[in-house]
Amino acid sequence: MSGEYAALLRRRALSMLRLARELAARGDADLAALNAYYAAQLYLKSVLYRVSGEEWRGHGLRALMGALVVLLRQAGFSDEAQTVEDYVRANRRILAELEEAHTRAVYGALEYSIEQAEKLVEAAERLVELLQSIEKRVFGGEA
């Protein structure tokens, strides 16, 4: 099941990322932001599963990225762990904003603007690209 589960999470993540782009283009900022967050979270969990063989719970992107750093170091991928750590350090604010979309887009008193949603979609895309590059370096071939 290991390869199948990770692949399922990746497919869902990439579908949600496409949907986030489409929703932003249609002007549905809240749902675009929410789907951007879920895309990032699911792709990250797919990589965590590939590295650890375990399903991951939790919603905090920064905490999950921290777990990925630890796992990569334990597996002997220090350069990749450092790449992830540097990314988190450089993108801490946008990652926090992306995490916040999980609740703000559904329960928040204020709506996202299209500009805010597009920024979150771009952040999710960059995170997925980073994770894909890490996967290629760790596992070789295509993600």
Percent of the chain with pLDDT over 90: 92
Q: What is the pLDDT of residues 34-89, one digit of tens each?
A: 999 999 999 999 999 999 999 998 889 999 999 999 999 999 999 999 999 999 99
Q: DSSP H helical segments within the chain, as ranges?
A: 2-26, 29-52, 61-74, 78-90, 92-107, 114-139
The topology (CATH level 3) of 2-139 is: Four Helix Bundle (Hemerythrin (Met), subunit A) (1.20.120)
**pLDDT averaged over every residue in the chain:** 95
Contact 54, 111 (CB under 8 A): no
Q: Which phi-psi region, left, alpha or beta, contains residue 110 (left: φ > 0; alpha: ψ -120 to 50)?
A: beta
User: How does residue 1 score in pLDDT terms, banded at 50, 70 and 90?
Assistant: very low
pTM: 0.94
Domain map (residue ranges) of the chain: 2-139
pLDDT at 83: 98
